Chains A and B, each alone.
Chain A
């Protein structure tokens, strides 16, 4: 039995170590996928790969996904096969199951020469050679060799000694070596910090106390999760949705299906009904969708550890799109994940209505990617930003606007000033999009338009988001949210045109609009308080026409007041139509 104060200190120190590793990595990384987009995670695992702690605030779909890599390496090397200051690098899809840009760096932690765990980081390098999927080329990629450099559990440092050959091979086969070799240094430094901090804890309290505390912490997390699940009525709940296609095979929608079984405090999320693996790069090997959904429902504010998922069973058969077999292409591995998470929520919307909002935009950002060469400096540049979209209306209020997806937590857009300091572009506007939010008693949040002018020639990535056939849905009578899209206006043309093209070359002075999706509405829009509709009209979130069309609320053109009798008539007519 551990004394409660020691337990409390260890309980809070373990996530603090992971967070300190994350802060270090984020502050010293060289690419915005890490420092702004937070496309990384840092973690401590035990020697079996069970998650001791993970940083808070990074991308959620990295939740507890490193264990398989440790299971694999321990099986290969044996528990006695590791030395102090070994540093491993891996991104191989056979086990890691994500796009090759996600480079995992980890170090074994030896306490008194006995392996006790691993300090790990996974981070999105800006480029990994091949077709440059990290910058949005994933739809073009048909296999892992085309995608880039494959590194299969290699020691970049062996007992502290750099493997110069491996280092040179990596450096010479990627496009932005100064950036990625900087990230490599930052990842290794973060791992060293994690190793040192965990050893300090072991030295201070002893292995037995630390390990018993970790077991206790797992059990506590499990218990808290079980309590929430037990409050959901037992049953089998299902929902379905669609992702347009895999970008390679047109008109072949990807089915997403979730079957959620609640039995007492146990939950099973069965994704067997999802599509089989595809020719295009939407494949992955990931439990992320089920885990993100479960975490959000059970213990959204608590630090994550392996115990957070003890009471969750996830079923994904081999050969399915989220359990694809090597060498399936995985360049766009995470694109469908937010939609899968929303589909799991949708399944539970009837059973646990108070926990579930309507669908959010469901996309990993309105992704701004423009690459070129800056004539002022003659250096290659990459413009990147991820823009948020609308979230669904809630059981008790409107959805938030312009926020990143359920998988992206603390991911930030890039400030306009920062983009313009670093790259030759002008951001002409970043604005909320009127009438985009799904109508409902509680309105969906708004999507946004970002309009960017490139001052020099270059290539824009404008791969259209694949949610046109299944836009963000409403719940309980709420309407769907507006969709996402790219528009291009070349320098010499007059109008913007919708575009679906990867790495489209454009001349200087062209403009692109990056449009993000919006949230679905919650509840019947005819039940929305007309005063709130008037407020929305005054703020420009809803147009005068939209107020009448979507909410049956008549407002005078001066936006002074709701016309009550006209509103009653409009709503009554709408209800009659609905009843018929």
Chain B
């Protein structure tokens, strides 16, 4: 059994593989090929020396979904809604989260008003038909949509969570009439009430659908052409994987498919080292991301808004909580109109990339600054496969930053790094201090190609005592994907008082959702978890209570009720045992465990390979010990200043800090007090 995981980021495509037969891990990193993403994957496969024909599993995560949405590069999308609700998408919830900001901006719909078609159909709460759907209306809309040249269509009718008939009928007509155009209906993604959020989720799915489904299709085709005969899986925002067929239908589930792998890996690696509380810090080429793991579990977002709560697109899917800032290795340093030095959010990406890549980049980046400071070795980047042009990086920083600011070149390079550190510290602060967690109680797990270069400085800024550099930091998301299970989520709004809940109808709904989930899951025998969202009558928010099929069969009102009262007490410190309870949603999760790789035990020595001059703090360069990570033995102790190099990443240990190699090979850096 050969498991392969591939993670495509804005700058690099990463591969990690695990061969169960010989218990070996493989890795590779290649530049992302934006015009034909599949090339980057095949380049990685070739570089790793693996035979694609041998792979039994290939798990894939990608930023293609989220980038398509954030960069507003999706399809021209039309929307079909119930008569009277054309403006619901624009009106949203009417709220202004940024309460005192007089110049707030509301989320902008993906379908302009002219692209939203009202259909004279209407269901009532509970799904009873009030106005039947007239197929002729859908045919007429389809004609207009074709004439206007829309590339994708989203259908979201009121109360469709309770009765999918009208959406099914409409989408079938649209698919027939519009041929290859991408059509998606809200019930195909989630059957949960709240029309604005559901419209937004459906519109996002349609908007990114053509691009993402095309991408998944061409990926699978190319892999097959290259001899891959195994099973392809796509990473989802919920921390599980899905099949390419499902990904093509529900691309919105891929929204956070890149970062989620790193968080799964962070939770496992940190817990194994005794840090059940950890912060995942992942710095790639274009952005840095922070997320919190508490008691070994990644924090889940309580509502997910792509682009931020204030003015982002709401998406009703389960997703891990990630704070992201536009600071990555490729982020460009620039001077604004008054001559102030800024870093990011614009990134040189992988093409043209930083100046030092020598691929035509002319704007100095964070990576260029690291090369100039001597922290990155131009001769050993990516194991020496890619030579970096130090002189060009120096020239770029000198001309674009140092001279205009009247700084020395070294000072300019340091200033670029310092600004980046301050920005990224804010993201780490947002997931910890701002939620009331003292970062001193956490370990920072650094990943992404640029993470280990900057993690110690960020930890120092926030007084985090310990930094962990895991195996394959520059492939960490990919590593996490190898650790992920298959998972599918389904939800159905099912309002009913618990006292009179029709358990037969509930069992029917469970069976229906379970059927949906099993049809999505490729592994037979997936475990099904059932949750009822319950609340006291009159409340709006709910708690998800796990129930068993036996409880449903036995109509165990008392037990379910008691579990709810208990959780309410535990979570909110009060409950109301005499108040009526109602159910609002039914949720199912299907989970199928997968084989997990084990980490290799490090052998080797503890001696530095050589010395190199690098600038650590203000002042001249210091002579640093340089270590090759692959050669380090478990238990080795390294005192800063030191640079620890490995394929795809370099760890900076500052003077006074102490780095220990854990028994399982992770670098554990203890910061000087």
Select B114's contact among A186, A394, A431, A538, beta carbons within 8 Å: A538
- Whether B434 sits at the interface, judged by CB under 8 Å, is yes
Q: Which residues of the partner chain A approach B22 to less than 8 Å between Cβ atoms? A: none
Q: Which residues of the partner chain A approach B106 to less than 8 Å between Cβ atoms? A: 400-403
- Whether A571 sits at the interface, judged by CB under 8 Å, is no
- Whether B90 sits at the interface, judged by CB under 8 Å, is yes
- Whether A529 sits at the interface, judged by CB under 8 Å, is no
Cβ–Cβ contact B95 & A30, under 8 A: no
Cβ–Cβ contact B568 & A356, under 8 A: no
Q: Which residues of the partner chain B approach A110 to less than 8 Å between Cβ atoms? A: none
Per-position 1/0 for A454-476, Cβ under 8 A of B: 00000000000000000000000
Q: Which residues of the partner chain A approach B610 to less than 8 Å between Cβ atoms? A: none
Q: Which residues of the partner chain B approach A58 to less than 8 Å between Cβ atoms? A: 99
Q: Which residues of the partner chain B approach A29 to less than 8 Å between Cβ atoms? A: 539-540
Per-position 1/0 for B548-587, Cβ under 8 A of A: 0000000000000000000010001110100100000000
Given A12-B434, A420-B125, check contact A182 B84 (CB 8 Å): no
Q: Which residues of the partner chain A approach B85 to less than 8 Å between Cβ atoms? A: 416, 429-430
Q: Using a CB-CB cutoff of 8 Å, which residues 476-529 of chain A contact chain B? A: none
Which among B193-201, B244-252, B348-356, B661-669 touches the partner chain? B193-201
- Whether A427 sits at the interface, judged by CB under 8 Å, is yes
**Alpha-carbon separation in the docked complex, A8 to B471 (Å):** 32
- Whether A158 sits at the interface, judged by CB under 8 Å, is no
Q: Which residues of the partner chain B approach A420 to less than 8 Å between Cβ atoms? A: 124-125, 158-159
CB distance from A517 to the nearest CB of B (A): 13
Cβ–Cβ contact A296 & B102, under 8 A: yes
Q: Which residues of the partner chain A approach B576 to less than 8 Å between Cβ atoms? A: 182, 185
- Whether A232 sits at the interface, judged by CB under 8 Å, is no
Q: Which residues of the partner chain A approach B98 to less than 8 Å between Cβ atoms? A: 300-301
**Alpha-carbon separation in the docked complex, A191 to B433 (Å):** 21
- Whether A421 sits at the interface, judged by CB under 8 Å, is yes
Given A357-B102, A401-B90, check contact A16 B97 (CB 8 Å): no
**Alpha-carbon separation in the docked complex, A12 to B96 (Å):** 22
Cβ–Cβ contact B193 & A421, under 8 A: yes
Cβ–Cβ contact B84 & A387, under 8 A: no
Cβ–Cβ contact A448 & B91, under 8 A: yes
Q: Which residues of the partner chain A approach B95 to less than 8 Å between Cβ atoms? A: 388, 403-404, 409-413
Select A192's contact among B92, B462, B541, B573, beta carbons within 8 Å: B573
Select A301's contact among B101, B193, B462, beta carbons within 8 Å: B101
- Write the chain A residue with the least CB distance to B584: A421
Q: Which residues of the partner chain A approach B102 to less than 8 Å between Cβ atoms? A: 296, 300, 345, 355-357, 394, 406
- Whether A451 sits at the interface, judged by CB under 8 Å, is yes
Q: Using a CB-CB cutoff of 8 Å, which residues 163-196 of chain A contact chain B? A: 178-179, 182, 185-186, 188-189, 192-193
Given A178-B579, A403-B96, check contact A432 B91 (CB 8 Å): yes
Cβ–Cβ contact A403 & B104, under 8 A: yes
Q: Which residues of the partner chain A approach B433 to less than 8 Å between Cβ atoms? A: 8-9, 12-13, 16
Cβ–Cβ contact A416 & B87, under 8 A: no
CB distance from B115 to the nearest CB of A (A): 10
- Whether A211 sits at the interface, judged by CB under 8 Å, is no
- Whether B536 sits at the interface, judged by CB under 8 Å, is yes
CB distance from B383 to the nearest CB of A (A): 38
Cβ–Cβ contact B541 & A35, under 8 A: yes
Cβ–Cβ contact B100 & A60, under 8 A: yes
Cβ–Cβ contact A30 & B94, under 8 A: no
Cβ–Cβ contact A31 & B94, under 8 A: no
Q: Using a CB-CB cutoff of 8 Å, which residues 66-96 of chain B contact chain A? A: 83-88, 90-96
Cβ–Cβ contact A197 & B436, under 8 A: yes
Q: Using a CB-CB cutoff of 8 Å, which residues 408-461 of chain B contact chain A? A: 429, 433-436, 438
- Write the chain A residue with the least CB distance to B93: A412
- Whether A292 sits at the interface, judged by CB under 8 Å, is yes
Q: Which residues of the partner chain B approach A192 to less than 8 Å between Cβ atoms? A: 573
Cβ–Cβ contact B91 & A388, under 8 A: yes
Given A57-B99, A421-B495, check contact A413 B93 (CB 8 Å): yes
Select A402's contact among B94, B194, B429, beta carbons within 8 Å: B94
Given A402-B94, A431-B86, check contact A539 B113 (CB 8 Å): yes
> How many A residues are at the interface, by size bracket?
35 or more
- Whether A1 sits at the interface, judged by CB under 8 Å, is no
Q: Which residues of the partner chain B approach A31 to less than 8 Å between Cβ atoms? A: 538
**Alpha-carbon separation in the docked complex, A418 to B195 (Å):** 9
Cβ–Cβ contact A539 & B541, under 8 A: no
Q: Which residues of the partner chain B approach A427 to less than 8 Å between Cβ atoms? A: 84
- Whether A80 sits at the interface, judged by CB under 8 Å, is no
Cβ–Cβ contact A295 & B100, under 8 A: yes
CB distance from A521 to the nearest CB of B (A): 16
Cβ–Cβ contact B573 & A189, under 8 A: yes
Select B84's contact among A13, A57, A404, A428, beta carbons within 8 Å: A428
- Write the chain B residue with the least CB distance to A58: B99
Q: Which residues of the partner chain B approach A36 to less than 8 Å between Cβ atoms? A: 540
Q: Which residues of the partner chain B approach A321 to less than 8 Å between Cβ atoms? A: none
CB distance from A408 to the nearest CB of B (A): 7
Given A26-B541, A178-B579, check contact A301 B130 (CB 8 Å): no
- Write the chain A residue with the least CB distance to B542: A27
- Write the chain B residue with the least CB distance to A407: B99
Cβ–Cβ contact B93 & A416, under 8 A: no
Cβ–Cβ contact B538 & A179, under 8 A: yes
Q: Which residues of the partner chain B approach A27 to less than 8 Å between Cβ atoms? A: 539, 541, 572
**Alpha-carbon separation in the docked complex, A20 to B91 (Å):** 28
Select A412's contact among B94, B462, B573, beta carbons within 8 Å: B94
Given A12-B433, A182-B538, check contact A409 B193 (CB 8 Å): no
CB distance from B243 to the nearest CB of A (A): 31
Per-position 1/0 for A68-109, Cβ under 8 A of B: 000000000000000000000000000000000000000000
Per-position 1/0 for B27-39, Cβ under 8 A of A: 0000000000000
- Whether A24 sits at the interface, judged by CB under 8 Å, is yes
Given A9-B433, A415-B194, check contact A182 B91 (CB 8 Å): no
Given A30-B536, A429-B85, check contact A539 B114 (CB 8 Å): yes
Q: Which residues of the partner chain A approach B574 to less than 8 Å between Cβ atoms? A: 28, 185-186, 188-189
Cβ–Cβ contact A30 & B100, under 8 A: no
Cβ–Cβ contact A296 & B568, under 8 A: no
Cβ–Cβ contact B90 & A451, under 8 A: no
**Alpha-carbon separation in the docked complex, A404 to B106 (Å):** 11
Q: Which residues of the partner chain A approach B94 to less than 8 Å between Cβ atoms? A: 386-388, 402-404, 411-413
Cβ–Cβ contact B539 & A416, under 8 A: no
- Whether A56 sits at the interface, judged by CB under 8 Å, is yes
Cβ–Cβ contact A417 & B84, under 8 A: no
- Whether A426 sits at the interface, judged by CB under 8 Å, is yes
Q: Which residues of the partner chain B approach A416 to less than 8 Å between Cβ atoms? A: 85, 88, 158, 195
Per-position 1/0 for B525-545, Cβ under 8 A of A: 000000000001111110000
Q: Which residues of the partner chain A approach B90 to less than 8 Å between Cβ atoms? A: 401-402, 432
- Whether A17 sits at the interface, judged by CB under 8 Å, is yes
CB distance from A352 to the nearest CB of B (A): 11
Q: Using a CB-CB cutoff of 8 Å, which residues 276-326 of chain A contact chain B? A: 292, 295-296, 299-301
Q: Which residues of the partner chain B approach A371 to less than 8 Å between Cβ atoms? A: none
Select A540's contact among B91, B113, B435, beta carbons within 8 Å: B113
- Whether A547 sits at the interface, judged by CB under 8 Å, is no
- Whether B523 sits at the interface, judged by CB under 8 Å, is no
Cβ–Cβ contact B193 & A418, under 8 A: yes
**Alpha-carbon separation in the docked complex, A357 to B102 (Å):** 7
Told that A345-B102, A421-B495 touch, could you supply 19 new A-B pairs with CB distance under 8 A?
Answer: A5-B462, A12-B434, A29-B540, A30-B538, A36-B540, A60-B99, A182-B579, A192-B573, A357-B103, A401-B91, A402-B92, A417-B195, A426-B124, A432-B90, A432-B91, A451-B84, A538-B114, A539-B114, A540-B114
A-B CB contact pairs (8 Å), 24 listed: A8-B433, A57-B99, A182-B539, A182-B579, A296-B100, A300-B102, A301-B100, A345-B102, A357-B102, A403-B94, A403-B95, A406-B102, A410-B97, A415-B194, A420-B124, A426-B124, A429-B85, A430-B87, A430-B88, A432-B113, A448-B91, A538-B114, A539-B113, A541-B113
**Considering the complex of A and B, which 4 residue pairs feature the smallest CB-CB distances, nearest first?**
A409-B99, A388-B94, A429-B84, A30-B538
